[in-house]
Amino acid sequence: DTAVSQTPKYLVTQMGNDKSIKCEQNLGHDTMYWYKQDSKKFLKIMFSYNNKELIINETVPNRFSPKSPDKAHLNLHINSLELGDSAVYFCASSLQGPDTEAFFGQGTRLTVV
Amino acid sequence: AQSVTQPDIHITVSEGASLELRCNYSYGATPYLFWYVQSPGQGLQLLLKYFSGDTLVQGIKGFEAEFKRSQSSFNLRKPSVHWSDAAEYFCAVGAGGSSYKLIFGSGTRLLVRP
């Protein structure tokens, strides 16, 4: 069983569209994250949720809206997509606290044309 | 502010040769340090982590890393590289307490010559 799974793996869409990426973890973790990896491979946190509560919102445009229906799911909805949103988006999960490791999904490659 | 620096963008080694990937961090408190590997088109896999205790930590796939507080470094090593080790390697520091997050370095791409 995949520990952290994201869908879709690839997403190609036009500017201005709205799209969602889904993430599910079966590890029983309390905390989930969204990271963005840009074209230069740089990884940066976007959001984190702990038990469905937003903990981190790292200066992300409000076109990006995470939603956590339960602690095993963290979805990312993006409105009015722009060319600059093209990136690989990774979902991750961990237990709560700094001395824990994060488990990552396979990533969603978003291409905005 | 917390940060992680990986000074080498690319490293090329011959198969069977030893490897060292450099990582320097800036963090005020006791750091929680990680090395992740990303194979092409894949997610990130944890190689090893340091939280406390022995400063030489062993990881998967024959990797090890040494934490040196005096140098603010956490370099990754492998005595003999295999072609399958070709990938992108990321060093990260766990930071933020209750607002916990990983702060990543910019990555080092490892190329392996046959």
Q: CB contact, 8 Å: B8 with chain A?
A: no
Sign of CA dihedral B39, B42, B43, B46: negative
Cross-chain Cβ contact A99/B34 below 8 Å:
no
Give all domains of chain B, ordered by start, each with its CATH number.
3-113 (2.60.40.10)
CB contact under 8 A, A107 and B43: yes
Residue ranges in chain A modelled with pLDDT below 50: none
Q: Looking at the domain covering A4-112, what would its CATH class be?
A: mainly beta
For an interface test with B, give the residue of A42, A101, A108 to mutate (most B CBs within 10 A).
A101
DSSP state of B71: G
Separation CA A45–CA A60 (nearest Å): 9
Tell me, what's the pLDDT at B53? 87
What the block records as the tokens of A106 is 């396979």
**Residues B37-84 pLDDT 10s:** 999 888 899 999 998 888 999 999 999 999 999 999 999 999 999 999
CA distance, residue A36 to nearest chain B CA (Å): 11
How far apart, in Å, are the Cα atoms of B83 and each of B6, B79, B88? 22, 13, 13
β A108-112/A10-13 pair status: parallel
